[in-house]
Amino acid sequence: MNKKILLIEDEEQIARFVELELKHEGYEVEKAFDGRTGLQMAESGNFDLILLDIMLPELNGLEVLRRIRKSTEVPVIMLTARDAVMDKVSGLDAGADDYITKPFAIEELLARIRVALKKSGRKGKQESQKLTAKGVVLDDERHEVSFRGERIELTHREFELLKTLMVNKNIVLDRDCLLNQVCGYEYTGETNVIDVYVRYLRTKIDDRFGIKLISTIRGVGYAIKED
């Protein structure tokens, strides 16, 4: 499906030119010529990216950006006047993903758009990658673990071990495999270090919340089992 771009720019000549180029690249484009209309469209439309001029009638670009950011993480590239350093700083502070200085080469704008879209695509994927098992939620992107909303503080290796078990839910993993995942292939110490980390996890999770998260499979290794 074509990516949808909202262009908020009051200089109609620039707006038309950019629209034409974007359409030529296969993007869908909608335009707004003032800040208020642009904000309304941004809030109601489902856009993949917004190009936002700063000097706009009715509502300036920074204010539009601040309000957009209250409801959505859509990538925003600011269009700023030449050398307006303050605009750039304020724009980035207010949550812009990038900015481009006018006048710009269209190829540069297209490149910035591709980068911003790729970045937001990755972010979207990671956000959906929350792992769950028996009420425990592991958010890989934020590096957070919780049980029914209560935060569980884990060390880096405890986190990696739990993540490996949750990613491979219902699969029994032996100690060597876990060791490689948690400590890296160059690790040459004792494999019973995994038993130690499992014990830590059980203290921090099972004992605290009265659940049985990690099962020991005698002679093989460990698994998180859930129907």
Which runs of E-coded beta strand occur in the chain? 4-8, 28-32, 49-53, 76-80, 98-101, 130-133, 136-139, 144-147, 150-152, 173-174, 214-217, 221-224
- Which CB sits closer to Ca ion, 10 or 58? 10
Residue nearest to Ca ion (CB): 55
Residues 6+ apart with CB under 8 A from 121: none
- Which CB sits closer to Ca ion, 10 or 30? 10
Helix orientation angle between 61-71 and 35-44, rounded to the nearest 10 degrees: 20
Min dist. Cβ of residue 91 to Ca ion (A): 14
- Which CB sits closer to Ca ion, 56 or 182? 56
- Which CB sits closer to Ca ion, 10 or 28? 10
Q: Contact 53/96 with Cβ under 8 angstroms?
A: no
Min dist. Cβ of residue 75 to Ca ion (A): 20
Q: State how far the Cα of 119 lies from the Cα of 98, in Å rounded to an integer.
A: 11
Min dist. Cβ of residue 9 to Ca ion (A): 6
- Encoded tokens for 98: 């990038």
Residues 6+ apart with CB under 8 A from 71: 43
Q: Which of 187, 182, 184 lies closest to 200 in space, CA to CA?
A: 182
Min dist. Cβ of residue 15 to Ca ion (A): 10
User: Which residues lie near Ca ion (CB under 5 A)?
Assistant: 10, 53, 55
- Which CB sits closer to Ca ion, 80 or 181? 80
The runs of H, that is alpha helices, within 74-155 are 85-93, 106-127
Min dist. Cβ of residue 53 to Ca ion (A): 4
Min dist. Cβ of residue 81 to Ca ion (A): 8
- Which CB sits closer to Ca ion, 53 or 158? 53
- Encoded tokens for 114: 């591709």
